[in-house]
């Protein structure tokens, strides 16, 4: 893959007032105009470099948007107040009453709930498909289909979408492929593989410090402007605007994303290999046992690895809960939802982030009761972490101690 996103981010240069090395933070909700005529033109959305009102755009939000467009290799990007703010705006921009969309059935619980329980209010129909089966996706296309939606690496089952194949199906249907790339920033560049719109929850790896909630839509100028249209733009009218001060702090954190992703991936890969060798049921796209391993390898930028997420089956919900509590007690990580933090975070997705999905559907998609989702942290000494985690598992009978087996 020729595109070098970390270089593109590194090459951005925005100075602050007085030559500050960081851009100044725009601390205003509204902007003055020298003439009434320019104000009118800005309202119409045709004056570059002029700001009207910060729900529309602000300098700080534009700086962050440009860094995210550089990350994904798209023309531009709109930042939003959350990942869900980005997802809902895109869907409602593309779909109206009587329309239909195709979505992967294994997606973030909030997105699933929105598609399943909310869109019906507007008469928008959704087909949930197995995204790893291109034939099923193709067969779900209808004359009123408006978009195909998936996550490049899905939450929480880590299914890998074959983006070139899906974008071909979307192209043939004349609809955009919309990809949530929250789990694999830098590793996978969906826009370079044919996706027309790329979404992130910045709350996760991109910000990486678990202190902010934010999102982004990366796309071409036409779509991003349409989202901001004062008359009918879903971004503008639904109002999920990111605060400028947060945009500035996220931009600063983003500059170390390449270092963090490589380390998250290294650590997750290390643990996945060891635990698999110990006989545990581990799901990690970097393992050749993973059904999406080849698809990931084909699409990835190798230096950032297979990502920081893995799942492990503790056998039962009780064992999973006991293990998480014990690991937290040993300070190996926190029992918490979300991902991309410097500490390892773990949760049982069936009872937390995917609880929106009914139990029988969870079973059908392979979400077992004992499943623990890990977002592996930036531990400097991952070997030490491995041994400590293993001790916890042995104490709880999830792993049989080697000595006892002899
Ligand atoms: C967290 C998450 C979201 C939602 O993002 P928020 O910032 O919490 O609104 C969407 N997609 C994925 C894959 C996520 O992990």
Taking Cα atoms as reference points, which of 188, 191, 177, 101 lies closest to residue 153? 188
- Structural domains in the chain? 5-254 (3.40.640.10), 258-404 (3.90.1150.10)
Structure tokens at 99: 């329309």
Query: What's the average model confidence in pLDDT over 14-43?
Result: 90
155 CA → ligand 1 middle, Å: 9
Report the Cα–Cα distance between both ends of the chain, in Å, rounded: 49
Whole-structure pTM over 0.75, yes or no? yes
Please give the Cα distance from 54 to 32 (Å, whole number): 12
Please give the Cα distance from 342 to 19 (Å, whole number): 32
Q: Is the distance from CB of 251 to CB of 67 less than 8 angstroms?
A: yes
Q: Is the distance from CB of 198 to CB of 191 less than 8 angstroms?
A: yes
What atom in ligand 1 is closest to the CA of residue 339? 15
176 CA → ligand 1 middle, Å: 20
Which residues line ligand 1 at a C-beta cut-off of 6 Å? Answer: 82-84, 108, 110-111, 151, 155, 180, 182-183, 201, 203-204, 213, 215
Structure tokens at 14: 């925005």
CB atoms < 10 A from the CB of 156, how many?
27
| Residue of minimum CA distance from atom 7 in ligand 1 | 83
For 252-286, what is each residue's pLDDT tens digit? 999 999 999 999 999 999 999 999 999 999 999 99
Mean pLDDT across the chain, nearest whole number? 94
349 CA → ligand 1 middle, Å: 14
Beta bridge pairs of residue 115: none
Model confidence band, residue 403 (pLDDT cutoffs 50, 70, 90): low
Please give the Cα distance from 116 to 183 (Å, whole number): 22
What atom in ligand 1 is closest to the CA of residue 155? 13
The torsion defined by the Cα of 344, 346, 352 and 357, in degrees rounded to 10, comes to: 100
């Amino acid at each position: 893959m020729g595109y070098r996103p970390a270089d593109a981010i590194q090459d951005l240069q925005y100075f602050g007032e007085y030559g500050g090395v960081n851009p100044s933070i725009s601390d205003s909700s509204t902007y003055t105009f020298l003439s009434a005529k320019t104000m009118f033109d800005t309202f119409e959305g045709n004056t570059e470099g002029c700001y009207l009102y910060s729900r529309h755009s602000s300098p700080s939000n534009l700086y962050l948007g440009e860094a995210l467009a550089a990350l994904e290799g798209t023309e531009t990007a709109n930042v939003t107040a959350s990942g869900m703010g980005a997802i809902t705006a895109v869907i409602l921009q593309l779909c109206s009453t009587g329309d239909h969309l195709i979505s992967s059935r294994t997606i973030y619980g909030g997105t699933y709930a929105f598609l399943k329980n909310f869109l019906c209010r507007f008469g928008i129909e959704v087909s949930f498909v197995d995204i790893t089966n291109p034939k099923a996706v193709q067969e779900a296309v209808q004359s009123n289909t408006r978009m195909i939606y998936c996550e490049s690496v899905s939450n929480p089952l880590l299914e890998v979408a074959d983006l070139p194949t899906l974008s071909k199906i979307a192209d043939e249907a004349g609809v955009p492929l919309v990809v949530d790339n929250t789990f694999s920033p830098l590793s996978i560049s969906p826009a370079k593989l044919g996706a027309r719109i790329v979404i992130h929850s910045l709350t996760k790896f991109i910000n990486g410090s678990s202190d902010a909630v934010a999102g982004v839509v990366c796309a071409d100028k036409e779509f991003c402007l349409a989202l901001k249209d004062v008359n009918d733009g879903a971004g503008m009218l639904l109002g999920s605007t990111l605060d400028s001060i947060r945009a500035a702090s996220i931009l600063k954190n983003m500059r170390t994303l390449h270092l963090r992703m490589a380390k998250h991936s290294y650590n997750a890969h290390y643990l996945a290999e060891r635990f698999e060798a110990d006989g545990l049921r581990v799901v990690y796209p970097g393992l050749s046992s993973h059904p999406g391993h080849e698809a990931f390898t084909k699409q990835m930028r190798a230096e950032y690895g297979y990502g920081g997420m893995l799942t492990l089956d503790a056998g039962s919900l009780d064992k999973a809960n006991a293990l998480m509590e014990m690991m937290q007690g040993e300070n190996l990580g926190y029992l918490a939802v979300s991902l991309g933090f410097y500490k390892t975070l773990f949760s049982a997705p069936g009872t937390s982030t995917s609880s929106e999905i009914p139990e029988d559907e969870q079973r059908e998609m392979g979400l077992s009761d004992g499943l623990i989702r890990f977002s592996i942290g930036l531990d400097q000494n991952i070997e030490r972490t491995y041994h400590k985690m293993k001790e916890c598992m042995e104490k709880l009978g999830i792993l049989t101690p080697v000595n006892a087996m002899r």
